[in-house]
């Protein structure tokens, strides 16, 4: 299942040191915003199980068994526990937002420069204030071109 457009923007990415090669500390904080997002994912698990496993459906003839979360994970509490343990995200979106220095949520300026860290720029999906959608390549490419132009302009001087 893919969940896009999460209203949760509570995730964080923290720099561990001044060395730009050190891995940052990434905390997704999924399902921490008090929304019903986790309940909706549980509903999705139940729907997919019904669609694929219930005898009489067209798909049931092709599915031998459920691998994950597994037939033993049946209650809402068990499904929630499984989801929290195994959920992942490949887009740490909106964790290093671009904005002005007086914006408490902003981490970078319009040139991709990280506030308070010299010689470090960010140009990925983390700079957006809101999730740009299912296929964020175009906005990332546009931001990349803009920030690359800023870097090029600086070094041509």
Which residues are known to be catalytic? 91
For residue 152, CA distances in Å to 36, 126, 146, 156 come to 45, 22, 10, 6
Question: In terms of C-beta distances under 8 Å and separation of at least 24 residues, what long-range contacts does 85-88 make, across chains too?
Answer: 87/28, 87/30, 87/31, 87/41, 88/28
Nearest to 99 by CA among 114, 84, 88: 114
In the block, residue with structure tokens 């999460």:
6
What length is written for the chain? Answer: 157
**What's the CA gap between 111 and 145, in Å, rounded?**
11
């Amino acid at each position: 299942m893919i969940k896009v457009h999460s209203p949760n923007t509570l995730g964080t990415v923290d720099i561990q040191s001044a060395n730009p090669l050190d891995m940052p500390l990434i905390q997704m904080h999924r399902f921490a915003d008090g929304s019903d997002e986790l309940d909706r994912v549980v509903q999705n698990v139940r729907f997919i199980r019904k669609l694929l496993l219930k005898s009489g459906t067209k798909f049931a003839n092709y599915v031998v068994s459920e691998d994950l979360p597994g037939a033993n994970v049946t209650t809402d509490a068990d499904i929630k526990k499984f989801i929290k343990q195994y959920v992942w995200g490949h887009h740490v979106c909106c964790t290093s937002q671009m904005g002005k220095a007086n914006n408490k949520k902003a981490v970078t300026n319009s040139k991709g420069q990280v506030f308070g860290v010299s010689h470090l720029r960010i140009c990925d999906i983390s700079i957006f204030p809101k999730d740009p959608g299912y296929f964020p390549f175009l906005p990332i490419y546009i931001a990349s071109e803009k920030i690359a132009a800023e870097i090029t302009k600086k070094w041509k001087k």
